Amino acid sequence: MILIDRNTRVLVQGITGREGSFHTRQMLDYGTKVVAGVTPGKGGQEVHGVPVYNSVKEALKEHEIDASIIFVPAFAAADAALEAAHAGIPLVVLITEGIPTLDMVQAVKEIKDLGIRLIGGNCPGLISAEESKIGIMPGHVFKRGKVGIISRSGTLTYEAAAALSDAGLGTTTTVGIGGDPIIGTTFKDLLPLFNEDPETEAVVVIGEIGGSDEEEAAAWIKEHMKKPVVAFISGRSAPKGKRMGHAGAIIMGDVGTPESKVKAFQEAGVPIAETIDEIVELVKKELG
């Protein structure tokens, strides 16, 4: 597994809000070590037994924290991520969607310059099966196993994990990187971690039309990847010129098209599944 395990200590920013409170309960029930929460002006309260502080710095005076997850409204979400990063929390998971693009451009650069890993925004988070969940995914579909998942799509992530679990393959760590044009962590950033992870025997990459992340991932796989990779590209049947759901589904010329992504993976020797069930078949085939 990569990035998180049962010992990862988690801060929830926006813990007193409806989403923050609900998902804190879900994460605690999964076994995640949620040690503190932050909501400005709400310090001194508790949410599900978790102490609440007015700022990230205040929380860090009382707790050791390895990761933060952010449930803060879009207008303030980038600032919340920067607050966590500047406080030195090494992993920041940004769930919020609809964050202004310029806010994210500035925040992503600043956070990377600080050497902090940002997952998201507009993402479901990440989960190391049966160890820790920092996000909003349904934990029960993730069974401990040997396949890593990196995905731009939330729902397809859950379907793929459930299919792999049902087939007895299971998962190590699953990371939902988010579907916005500007995100903190890409496929290419995570592939090296899975490549070196002793528990991960194969990786599933779930991409979408738009952007160039999949093409860049394919180039990295072709040059460096030691483990088998199986790809799935959603949106391949989308009509040209049609506006689709995810903000990241932007096609510029020939880059970002379904054909461009399929070709890149094929040239890297990565088999491409047509359905979720075929992901399982191809993983089994690749693992022998």
Active site residues: 246
Angle at 157 between CA 30 and CA 256, to 5 degrees: 145
CA distance 171 to 32: 17
Distance between first and last Cα of the chain: 21
Residue 275 burial (CB < 10 Å; 0-12/13-18/19+)? exposed
3-state secondary structure of 77: helix
Q: Are 43 and 97 in contact (CB under 8 A)?
A: no
For residue 31, cis peptide bond before it (omega within 30 degrees of 0): no
Residue 148 — φ and ψ, nearest 5°?
-90, 145
Residue in the structure block whose two tokens are 């040239």? 267
Looking at 94-212, list the stretches that DSSP marks H as alpha helix, in order from N- to C-terminal side: 101-113, 154-166, 187-196
